[in-house]
Structure 1
Amino acid sequence: MARTLKDALVEFVSIDGVKTAAILGRDGFVIESAGSLELDTDALGAAVAGVLEASEALGRSLPTGNLERHILEFADGTVIIATARDDVLVLIVEANAVVGGVRYAVKKNVDHLAELL
């Protein structure tokens, strides 16, 4: 099991098809990241904060409970956003990856990740 936040993110990136893993504050501030994609982390943080706010507002308007994961599928890849206590895990995944396996890894490891924050 990972001992540092960076190690935990590197473990996510070691999953086949996961290109980037990042931990963000709910305000969009990037706390830590790992992976092979070169990204504008400020733009990523701002976009994720907006998506998260809209998704949580939708959840509050429905009897569905708190947001746990948000999966966005695009033509060239998938973005998985998962809550980790007060922060957010973001994974950027290749289009041909087995998303179910990535989702399982998120569900299995997000609590440990939150403990490292």
Structure 2
Amino acid sequence: MAGDPEFLLAVDCAEPDEPRPWRWARGSLSDQWDIAGAGAATGILGNGSGHPAFVMLSLDGEAIVRAQQGETSTEFVLVREPHHVQFFRKLAAQMVRWPDTTEPSKAAIERWLTAAAE
């Protein structure tokens, strides 16, 4: 929803040397937030100030934002209506078949694929 400061943030819940289970955590932005500077410095949104690394999803699933530090640049990507992007749909279908995809993740992917097909 436009102007809504709430979003979902992908959070790595893995212990060292274990598979990387990711979970969505609900958050909200304030006018004072600096997601690529101070936010990245906390380690929650990146790997130090000026080095963002995160994935955010709108609550309605209509927009996804990814940031990462490349070799020579900082990259931000915004995708609107990701359920219409065939690349994401194919990747999701492949992820269901990966042996290290957890059962809860497989179920969530199947729900997304089914809902996105409607």
Larger radius of gyration: 2
Query: Do Structure 1 and Structure 2 share a fold, with TM-score over 0.5?
Result: no
Please report the TM-score for the alignment, with normalisation by the length of structure 1: 0.31
Please report the TM-score for the alignment, with normalisation by the length of structure 2: 0.31
Of Structure 1 and Structure 2, the greater helix share is in 1
- Which structure would you say has the larger RCO, counting Cα contacts within 8 Å and 6 or more residues apart? 1
